[in-house]
Chain A
């Protein structure tokens, strides 16, 4: 074992010295290995539907023209991106610039496929800490996300006014409001508790706000959070179908007037705005006890640079990522796509310009990355979370035992 490690270390050291030597050479004659100027970059992302597809294209085009290059862009559906990346990795045809959902960055970086961006003049200065955590691995930065999102509590203004209910600030208020807003054909509250990572993602505001932590899922704080979901469903304030709903289904229920409140993200705003009859607003996720701070998970995609033998191309790709994360582009994308800029300095300006994003702007400052603590081990915890939710909501386990059962205890 030890000898193997030493061997690996030696191999690593040799590789490093070779790289250093190569770098030294480059300084002498820049025209030797990569003399040809980079004229085009290939890009892969999962914004395959309009309006996002063309809005992203605009940002990509403007950066391309700034760098004097052309881009060859490929888009794939979101759930097939990782499979596509794996295929490309095994056939050594990864793109020059690769978009990844932020919780996937560490997993892919762990395989050694990505180039560390620190070495190429990029850093995460001024970026929300949670996002830097998500896109770093082993102390190095592997990606930068221009915009981010999170989830909060949407509510139907007319329904709350009609029932004489204020937007809830605590869990008790949330339960009371949900109950009061429930009537035949309508539930007070809707959320997604399905058996996918999306179900875990929607549970995190409750879990994190209450001080629960993915490093110890059997803690009472986590159980209390689960109890909130159980109470909402058991009391009939939320549909039993939440265990099968996606976030899109939740949004459909809200638009159809079958739910008065919902947990969802700002990417639903364009479809909400298409239905002017639905008057809505957003508040931060309620807290369990007064004095707690709402903590929600960070969403959004990071742009990374896969390792490239062509050093000049790799550097150009890094420059391209840097341009995508310029203040100008962050604000442009955030405004056009109802997302939030990742630089904290831009948030205030943004929220005054886009008031409907106010609650999200407040919530995102304290938001955490899913992979912030567990890194590439996060998917295992996320799986335990959604399985525990399913056990508790179907009555197969109490909220106290669900996490122990789901983690195989």
Chain B
């Protein structure tokens, strides 16, 4: 519209559209220039690794490749090899158990603590910031610490449990294939709680007090106020949190490597540890890349699922 009013009527013949498009071009050029730095950064830091990883998963990329530069194409052989591997199904199940177990408890405990800290009480601020500690520790440090806590003979956890006569024999936390996964999930829950508390607490702070006051007038107290006021208002935060939780948890590597190294007897192998092992212990980088692509695909599914659900929420 602005162009039309500025353009004298005598010049309507032909130059109008030309000039308009030139201006248009200038405008779109600026737009492109604004996007360009971000796009370049995305390409270099995100696009290149993903593409390179995809290519690697289709190549016989091994120790020799680094010296000769030769990585022959093998099509989908790497994918069939990793899927046929006897550990693949175990790793899939363990990844699912690890992810679901971690997220359910992280979220539940995180929500409980967030609600607890939401009713301000003396020292609640200090306590809440202390709760962040697990998050601030380097993962290698926390896994080494937990490894000594969970040690079967002299670990402090077994000593305490036996001192309190809660168990008769020391629990083989990291030494038994049937217990190790539970122990590893437990440690991961401990690490994930601060993140959940922080986000859920800020979500709770966003809910206006008037809603609760109004609800109280209508008799919504206790559980009912949580179910009809808190939860619906927290849903957006919760869905972001769960989505991020899945993406973060599914690829956890350092905690498992630090605690059990995937053992005992492969009881804590996940897709991530398998991918690491294929690449950096067996030097079969092609197969390692294939496994990590499967991981990326699974995370991607969750991302799409999340995007669709939020879009529906916006449409509503």
Do B282 and A240 touch across chains, with their CB atoms under 8 A apart? no
- A195 close to B262 (CB less than 8 A): yes
Interchain CB contact (< 8 A) of A243 among B67, B68, B153, B175: B175
State how many angstroms separate the Cβ of A184 from the closest Cβ of chain B.
10
The verdict on A394 contacting B63 (CB below 8 Å), with A194-B261, A239-B153, A244-B260 known, is no
**Stretch from B103-111, B241-249, B263-271 at the A interface:** B263-271
Write the nearest CB–CB distance from A234 to chain B, whole angstroms: 13
Provide the residues of chain B in CB contact with A89, threshold 8 Å. Answer: 66-67
User: Count of A-B contacts with CB under 8 A?
Assistant: 77
Residues of A within 8 A of B69 (CB): 90
Complex CA distance for A87 and B63, rounded to whole angstroms: 11
Contact, CB under 8 Å: B66 / A86: yes
B264: contacting residue among A83, A108, A111, A243, CB under 8 A: A243
Given contacts A90-B66, A111-B66, A239-B153, contact A244 B280 (CB under 8 A): no
User: Is the Cβ of B266 less than 8 Å from the Cβ of A111?
Assistant: no
Does any Cβ of B come within 8 Å of A408's Cβ?
Answer: yes
B63 pairs with A239, CB closer than 8 A: no
Determine how close the nearest CB of chain A comes to the CB of B283; give it in whole angstroms. Answer: 8
Are the C-beta atoms of B282 and A111 separated by less than 8 Å? no
CA distance A87 to B280 in the complex (A): 13
Among candidates A111, A196, A379, residue contacting B68 with C-beta atoms closer than 8 Å:
A111
B86 at the A/B interface (Cβ < 8 Å)? yes
B198 at the interface (CB under 8 A from A): no
Asked if A209 lies at the interface with its beta carbon under 8 angstroms from chain B, I say: no
Flag if B63 contacts A86 (CB, 8 Å).
yes
Select B175's contact among A107, A241, A387, beta carbons within 8 Å: A241
Q: Please tell me if the beta carbons of A240 and B67 are within 8 angstroms of each other in the complex.
A: no
CB 8 Å contact bits of A90-131 with B (1 = contact, 0 = none): 100000000000000001101111000000000000000000
For A367-408 the 0/1 string (1 means CB < 8 A from B) is 000000000000100010001001101101000000000001
Are A239 and B68 interface neighbours, CB within 8 A? no
Contacts of A87 in B (CB 8 A): 66
The interface residues of chain B, by DSSP majority, are classed as loop
**Shortest beta-carbon distance, A203 to chain B, in Å?**
15
Asked whether B176 is an interface residue with its Cβ less than 8 Å from the other chain, the reply is yes
A244's partner among B67, B177, B264 (CB-CB below 8 A) is B264
> Given A89-B66, A90-B66, A113-B67, does the pair A195, B261 have CB atoms closer than 8 Å?
yes
Q: Which residues of B have CB within 8 Å of A383?
A: 281-282
CA of A108 to CA of B283, assembled, Å? 12
Which single member of B67, B68, B264 contacts A195 (CB below 8 Å)? B264
Residues of B within 8 A of A110 (CB): 63-64
Contacting residue for A390 out of B67, B86, B264, B282, CB 8 A: B264
Task: Find residues 201-237 in chain B having any chain A CB closer than 8 Å to their own CB.
Answer: none
**Chain A interface size range:** 20 to 34
Report yes or no: B176 in contact with A394, Cβ–Cβ below 8 A: yes
Q: Please measure, in the bound complex, the distance between the C-alpha atom of A107 and the C-alpha atom of B63, giving whole angstroms.
A: 8
Q: Which residues of A contact B153 (CB under 8 A)?
A: 239, 241, 258
Q: Which residues of the other chain, A, contact B184 by a CB distance below 8 angstroms?
A: none
Residue B186, interface by CB 8 Å? no
B53 CB-CB contact with A under 8 Å: no
B282, A408: Cβ atoms closer than 8 Å:
no
Measured between beta carbons, the chain A residues less than 8 angstroms from B82 are none
In whole angstroms, what is the CA distance A206 to B66 when docked? Answer: 36
Which residue of the partner chain A has the closest CB to B267?
Answer: A394
Contact of B152 with A240 in the complex, beta carbons under 8 Å: yes
Chain A residues, Cβ within 8 Å of B65: 90
A396 contacts which chain B residues (CB < 8 A)?
Answer: 177, 265
CB distance from A296 to the nearest CB of B (A): 24
What are the residues of chain A within 8 A of B152 when measuring CB–CB? 239-241
Complex interface bits, A42-53 against B, C-beta within 8 A gives 1, otherwise 0: 000000000000
- Given A241-B175, A394-B176: A112 touches B265 (CB 8 Å cut-off): no
- By a CB distance below 8 angstroms, the chain A residues around B262 are 195
Decide if B264 touches A394 in the complex (CB within 8 Å).
yes
A396 to B260, CA, bound (A): 17
Contact B66 A390 (CB under 8 A): no
Report B-chain residues with C-beta under 8 Å of the C-beta of A90: 65-67, 69
- Taken together as a complex, chains A and B put the C-alpha atoms of A387 and B64 apart, in Å, by 26
Chain A 192-205, CB-CB to B under 8 Å as 1, else 0, gives 00111000000000
A408 to B66, CA, bound (A): 29
CB distance from B116 to the nearest CB of A (A): 36
Q: Known contacts A239-B152, A239-B153; is A111 also within 8 Å of B175 by CB?
A: no
B189 interface residue per 8 A CB criterion: no
Residue of B nearest to A397 (CB): B265
Which of B174, B260, B265 has the most C-beta atoms of chain A within 10 angstroms of its own C-beta? B265
Tell me the bound Cα distance from A344 to B267 in angstroms. 45
A90, B63: Cα distance in complex, Å: 10
Report the nearest B residue to A239, measured CB to CB: B153
Cβ-defined partner of A112 (8 Å) among B67, B174, B281: B67
Nearest 8 CB-CB pairings of A with B: A195-B263, A111-B67, A390-B265, A86-B66, A89-B66, A394-B265, A113-B67, A111-B64
30 contacts between A and B (CB under 8 A): A86-B63, A89-B66, A110-B63, A110-B64, A111-B67, A111-B68, A113-B67, A194-B261, A195-B261, A195-B264, A195-B265, A195-B266, A239-B153, A240-B175, A241-B151, A241-B174, A243-B263, A243-B264, A243-B265, A244-B175, A244-B261, A258-B153, A379-B281, A383-B282, A387-B265, A390-B263, A391-B265, A394-B175, A394-B267, A408-B86
Residues of chain A whose beta carbon lies under 8 Å from any beta carbon of chain B: 83, 86-87, 89-90, 107-108, 110-113, 194-196, 239-241, 243-244, 258, 379, 383, 387, 390-391, 393-394, 396, 408
In addition to A243-B265, A244-B260, A390-B265, 8 A-B residue pairs with Cβ atoms within 8 Å of each other are A83-B280, A89-B67, A90-B66, A111-B64, A111-B68, A112-B68, A379-B281, A383-B282
